[in-house]
Amino acid sequence: MPDAVGEAWERSLTSGRAAMSRRRLLRAASLAAGGTALAACGIPPAQGDKGRSAERRDPDHSRTEKVLDFANWPLYIDVDEDDKKKRPTLDRFQRESGIKVKYVEDINDNSEFYGKIKPQLAAGRNAGRDLVVLADWMAGRMIRQGWAQRLDPARMPHAVTNLEDRFRTAAHDPGRQYSYPWAGTACVVAYNKKATQGKRVASVSQLLEDDALKGRVSMLTEMTDTVGLTMLDMGIDPMTFSDDDFDRVVARIQKAVDRKQLRRFSGNDYMDELNSGDIAACLAWAGDVVQLKQDNEDVEFAVPERGYLFGTDDLLVPVKARHRTNAEKLIDFYYRPREAAELAAWINYICPVTGAQAEMKKIDAELAADPLIFPDAEMIKKGRNFRPMKGEEETAYEEKFAKLIGA
């Protein structure tokens, strides 16, 4: 692994979104269609794998083994308020399906987890997980390397029918053949109204150039979010940028660093500082902002006029997993609107399931109206992705970004 990429992975593990955000997601106070429908959605039932990920079907033991090994991030599922060991939706799935789920929260960082299962997958062995949740860019890497199993939409009628249209196409998984979103992610601008004396902060330009905010601004240690949002502010499309575009963005942020406009680059520890007002404004992840707003009326967010960074955390079945059909049943279960709403009520990230918003109104009307969980048309229109990177690009970009943030 190139040093620059390794250092970026370490930053993510120790201070990035993966390091802390999952621990922040829960608060004590917060709470078919068959072949015709599949064809109507433009997704034909699988009839044997022909893509890179599986030129042959791995043996599936779901019929005789009613078990499922499911690896997820810490606190990325609903739990019972009175008994934290209970997970209401997951327990319901086990009762209804008869499938016993071994649920482990051992994904603390995309790259660290990848490194954990890579030796087994590279050797053509079962990595011990039937279903995993990974960020879209890492899911894309697994797919490109042939380490993901093609899903059969005929066994997932709720997922095929209820997946929101904007999630149906993805640069890392065209046609959603190998992955389905567990939740959507969004990086936006956040600010503390008390710290800004009532002034609204709504753009990266303000973060980088407003003298009134000098020394009280933070940006993220996650390269794609910080660079991607700055690209949008500069009128550069993060889906089509060039090397020269990347250098222009880094130079602009470097200028703000040199004039001490930025207090620092941070991971999720920006939350405490934003909450207290020590940081007046910053780049932030939407799920965190939802949580802070429930406790602090001074915390606000803004979707920049030129757009925000959008992504997904995806459900994926690794190659050699023994229980693909059982995994497909669980994916389909969480695309039922009721279960999707219960999940979103706890994790507070973007819900990808059509019909879940109506169910959320029965749980929490305020959350049902929150555009950070159920984006309205205007917010959806502004979402942009950071394009997939080739290996050599990732190395070069991470080297430049590491130098910028002093990592």
Per-10-residue mean pLDDT for the chain, 407 residues long? 50 46 34 34 38 62 97 90 90 98 88 90 95 90 93 97 93 94 95 97 98 96 90 96 98 97 86 94 88 89 93 95 98 98 93 98 95 89 87 86 88
Per-residue pLDDT at 6: 53
Domain with residue 167: its CATH number is 3.40.190.10
Any domain includes 242:
yes
* 10 in a structural domain: no
Domain membership of residue 135 as a residue range: 67-178+317-335
For tokens 């330009």, the residue is: 205
Distance CA(149)–CA(161), nearest Å, equals 21
d(CA 241, CA 60): 42
Answer whether 217's CB lies under 8 Å from 263's CB: yes
Compute the half-sphere exposure of residue 340: CA atoms within 13 Å on the CB side of its CA.
30
Indicate whether 44 belongs to any domain.
no
Same domain, 170 and 78: yes
State pTM to two decimals: 0.74
Return the pLDDT at 102: 98
- d(CA 127, CA 132) in angstroms, rounded, equals 11
74 and 199 assigned to the same domain: no
Residues 93 and 160 in one domain: yes
Are 201 and 137 in the same domain? no
- Asked if residue 329 and residue 274 are part of one domain, the reply reads no
21 closest CA partner among 209, 289, 208, 233: 289
Instruction: Determine, yes or no, domain membership for 11.
Output: no
Residues 72 and 165 in one domain: yes
The rounded distance, in Å, linking the Cα atoms of 143 and 172 is 8
Do 346 and 77 meet the contact criterion of CB atoms below 8 Å apart? yes
In a domain, 3, yes or no: no
Domain co-membership, 220 together with 294: yes
168 and 140 in one domain? yes
- Residue 133 in domain: yes
Please check whether residues 155 and 137 belong to one and the same domain. yes
Query: In this structure, which amino acid lies at residue 327?
Result: A
Q: Is residue 375 part of a domain?
A: no
Number of domains in the chain: 2
Provide the pLDDT for residue 3.
Answer: 56
Would 32 be classed as within a structural domain?
Answer: no
Residues 262 and 113 in one domain: no
Q: Around Cβ 100, how many Cβ atoms within 10 Å? A: 11
Considering the domain architecture, whether residues 328 and 301 belong to the same structural domain is answered as no
pLDDT at residue 267, as a whole number? 72
pLDDT at 398: 83
Q: Are residues 131 and 226 in the same domain?
A: no
- Give the pLDDT score at 196: 97
